[in-house]
C-alpha cells in the first residue's frame, strides 16, 4: 500500500453503525489502532430500529425486475410499501432513473452472484463477534412468510428458486398449516413458506454492545463529529469536523450509510447512494410470537421484541434527515392489521425511521477508492445488518494486506 508499508497502523472509521463498528472490530483484530467518529451517536442511522434479521436466505437484491413495474404503480398509491413523495429534487429522479436501468434480469443476477460470498459467511462473522466480547446473542429461528393465496406464495417461491439456481444455499419449504408456525395468522392467510437456518437479533442492543467491545479493545468513539473534510498528507490523513475538531490516521474508512455520496465523491466514488427509508414500531401481542414473520405482499417484517412484536416496513425515497412521517406508520398498520390477530395495534410505541443506503446498481460499495488510503463500506440497502459483520471482516483484510479479496471484486467503490 502506497506510503503505508505493510498496511496502516491507524485508521479513522467514519460512521458508528453496524458496518463501521464491525470494520473497526476486525481491524483491531489485526492489530490496527482505531478511532470511530460519528455525526450523531452509535446506531443513529439505519442500525437501531430495523427488523433485526440475520437472513442470508432473504438477502434478495433490490433491483429485481418486477420492482420497476411495481414501483410505477406505487407512485400513485400513498398506502403502497414503496413511496416516492412528490418532489422537484432532480438528484432523486436521476438516481431513480439509474436504479430503474439496473432492474433487469442480467443486472439482478449479477448482484445475486456478487452477494453469494457475503451470504455464505455472514452468520459465521456474527458468531466470531459474539464469541469474543460482543454481548448480544443472536437467536436462531426460521422465518415464516405468510400469504393470502397460493399464487402469492408462488412469487416468493420462484424468487427463492432463482437464488438457489444462482448458487445460494437456502433451506425452505411450503407449510400446510401456517398457524402451526404463526398462531397469529388470521383467517385470510392461506399459504406459507418457512425458511430455516435464519437468525434474528435486537439490532440496537447488538450495535451498542459492538461499540462497547470496540472501546474495550482500545478504540475511541467520538460522537457529534460531523465530518466536513478529509485531507491527504504525505503519510497520514486528517479528518476535520464542522466544529474544527480534527483526528488523524494513516487510513480512513467511510461507513456513513445513506450519507456516503457526499464524502465519497471527492475520492472517486461514482455509484449513487440514496436513503431508502424504513419505518418500524413496537406493538404488544396477546401471546408470544415464536419467530420472525414475513408478509411479502405488503413488504412487512415482524420480529419478536421485548415480549411483543417489532413491525418494520416501507421503502421511502426521501431525504435521509427528513422527519418521520406518521402516515407511513399508519399505512403499515392498515396493510398488516387484517393479516395478524392478537396484535394490539392501537398500543404501538417506539415509532422510528432509518435511512437505509440504497445503491443505484443493487450492489454495495466495499473496498478501496481511487486513493489507496481511503476505503468505503456501504450501500447495502436492506441488508446492512445481515452483511455488516462479514463486510467489516473482508474490508479489514483488504486494508491490512493491500490485497483484494475475491469476494469484494464486484463491490469496487470506484466502479
pLDDT, tens digit, for every residue of 72-104? 555 556 667 777 776 768 888 899 899 999 999
| Out of 14-18, 89-93, 119-123, 287-291, least confident range | 89-93
User: Domain coordinates of the chain in residue numbers?
Assistant: 10-411
Q: Contact 10/250 with Cβ under 8 angstroms?
A: yes
pLDDT-derived band of residue 353, with 50, 70 and 90 as boundaries?
very high
Q: Contact 127/275 with Cβ under 8 angstroms?
A: no
Backbone angles phi, psi at 377, to 5 degrees: -145, 105
Q: Report which of 108, 101, 97 is spatially closest to residue 317, judged by C-alpha positions.
A: 97
**E-assigned strand segments in 176-298:** 191-196, 199-200, 220-222, 227-233, 236-241, 246-249, 251-254, 273-283, 293-295
Question: Cα angle at 216 between 215 and 222, to 5 degrees?
Answer: 15
In our burial notation (b when 16+ CB lie closer than 10 A, e otherwise), range 281-293 reads: bbbebeeebebbb
pLDDT-derived band of residue 69, with 50, 70 and 90 as boundaries?
low
Backbone angles phi, psi at 108, to 5 degrees: -65, -45
**What pLDDT is stored for residue 65 in this prediction?**
86
pLDDT-derived band of residue 5, with 50, 70 and 90 as boundaries?
very low
Q: Contact 275/320 with Cβ under 8 angstroms?
A: yes
Please tell me the distance from the alpha carbon of residue 380 to that of residue 383, in angstroms, as a whole number: 5
pLDDT-derived band of residue 68, with 50, 70 and 90 as boundaries?
low
Q: Is 101 left (phi over 0), alpha (psi -120 to 50) or beta?
A: alpha
**What pLDDT is stored for residue 82 in this prediction?**
72
**What pLDDT is stored for residue 73 in this prediction?**
59
Mean of the pLDDT values across residues 42-57?
96
Question: Cα angle at 196 between 122 and 117, to 5 degrees?
Answer: 25
Is the pLDDT at 256 greater than 60, yes or no? yes
pLDDT-derived band of residue 29, with 50, 70 and 90 as boundaries?
very high
**What pLDDT is stored for residue 86 in this prediction?**
67
Domain 10-411: give its CATH architecture.
3-Layer(bba) Sandwich (3.50)
Please tell me the distance from the alpha carbon of residue 378 to that of residue 129, in angstroms, as a whole number: 20
Q: Report which of 261, 266, 250, 255 is spatially closest to residue 221, judged by C-alpha positions.
A: 255
Q: Which residues pair with 317 in a beta bridge?
A: 276
Mean pLDDT of the chain: 94
**What pLDDT is stored for residue 64 in this prediction?**
87
Q: Contact 273/260 with Cβ under 8 angstroms?
A: yes
Please tell me the distance from the alpha carbon of residue 290 to that of residue 185, in angstroms, as a whole number: 12
pLDDT digits (tens, 9 = 90+) for 153-192: 999 999 999 999 999 999 999 998 999 999 999 999 999 9
* Per-residue CA distances from 222 to 14, 133, 395 (Å): 10, 21, 22
Is the pLDDT at 111 greater than 70, yes or no? yes
With residue 145 as reference, give the H or E element that holds it: strand 143-147
Which percentage of the chain shows pLDDT scores above 70? 95
Amino acid at each position: 500500500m502506497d506510503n503505508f508499508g505493510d498496511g496502516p497502523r491507524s485508521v479513522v472509521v467514519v460512521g458508528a453503525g453496524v458496518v463501521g463498528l464491525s470494520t473497526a472490530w476486525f481491524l483491531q483484530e489485526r492489530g490496527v489502532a482505531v478511532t470511530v467518529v460519528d455525526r450523531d451517536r452509535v446506531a443513529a442511522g439505519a442500525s437501531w430500529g430495523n427488523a433485526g434479521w440475520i437472513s442470508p436466505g432473504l438477502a434478495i437484491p433490490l433491483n429485481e425486475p418486477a420492482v420497476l413495474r411495481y414501483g410505477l404503480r406505487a407512485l400513485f398509491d400513498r398506502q403502497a410499501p414503496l413511496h416516492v413523495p412528490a418532489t422537484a429534487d432532480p438528484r432523486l429522479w436521476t438516481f431513480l432513473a439509474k436504479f430503474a436501468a439496473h432492474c433487469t434480469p442480467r443486472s439482478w443476477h449479477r448482484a445475486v452472484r456478487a452477494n453469494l460470498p457475503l451470504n455464505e459467511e455472514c452468520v459465521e462473522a456474527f458468531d466470531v463477534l459474539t464469541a469474543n466480547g460482543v454481548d448480544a446473542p443472536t437467536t436462531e429461528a426460521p422465518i415464516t412468510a405468510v400469504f393470502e393465496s397460493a399464487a402469492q406464495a408462488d412469487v416468493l417461491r420462484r424468487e427463492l428458486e432463482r437464488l438457489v439456481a444462482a448458487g445460494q444455499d437456502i433451506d425452505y419449504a411450503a407449510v400446510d398449516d401456517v398457524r402451526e408456525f404463526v398462531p397469529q395468522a388470521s383467517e385470510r392467510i392461506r399459504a406459507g413458506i418457512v425458511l430455516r437456518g435464519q437468525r434474528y437479533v435486537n439490532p440496537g442492543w447488538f450495535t451498542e454492545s459492538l461499540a462497547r467491545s470496540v472501546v474495550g479493545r482500545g478504540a475511541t468513539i467520538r460522537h457529534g463529529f460531523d465530518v466536513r473534510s478529509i485531507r491527504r498528507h504525505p503519510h497520514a490523513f486528517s479528518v476535520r469536523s464542522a466544529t474544527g475538531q480534527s483526528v488523524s490516521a494513516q487510513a480512513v474508512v467511510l461507513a456513513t450509510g445513506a450519507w456516503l455520496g457526499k464524502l465519497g465523491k471527492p475520492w472517486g466514488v461514482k455509484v449513487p447512494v440514496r436513503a431508502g427509508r424504513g419505518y418500524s414500531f413496537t406493538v404488544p401481542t396477546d401471546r408470544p410470537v415464536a419467530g420472525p414473520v414475513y408478509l411479502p405482499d405488503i413488504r412487512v417484517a415482524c420480529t419478536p421484541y421485548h415480549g411483543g412484536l417489532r413491525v418494520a416496513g416501507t421503502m421511502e425515497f426521501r431525504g435521509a434527515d427528513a422527519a418521520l412521517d406518521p402516515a407511513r406508520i399508519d399505512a403499515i398498520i392498515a396493510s398488516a392489521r387484517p393479516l395478524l390477530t392478537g396484535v394490539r395495534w392501537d398500543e404501538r410505541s417506539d415509532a422510528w425511521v432509518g435511512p437505509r443506503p440504497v445503491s443505484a446498481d443493487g450492489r454495495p460499495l466495499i473496498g478501496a477508492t481511487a486513493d489507496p488510503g481511503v476505503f468505503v463500506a456501504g450501500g447495502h440497502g436492506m441488508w446492512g445488518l445481515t452483511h455488516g459483520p462479514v463486510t467489516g471482516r473482508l474490508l479489514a483484510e483488504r486494508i491490512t494486506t493491500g490485497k483484494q479479496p475475491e469476494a469484494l471484486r464486484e463491490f469496487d467503490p470506484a466502479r
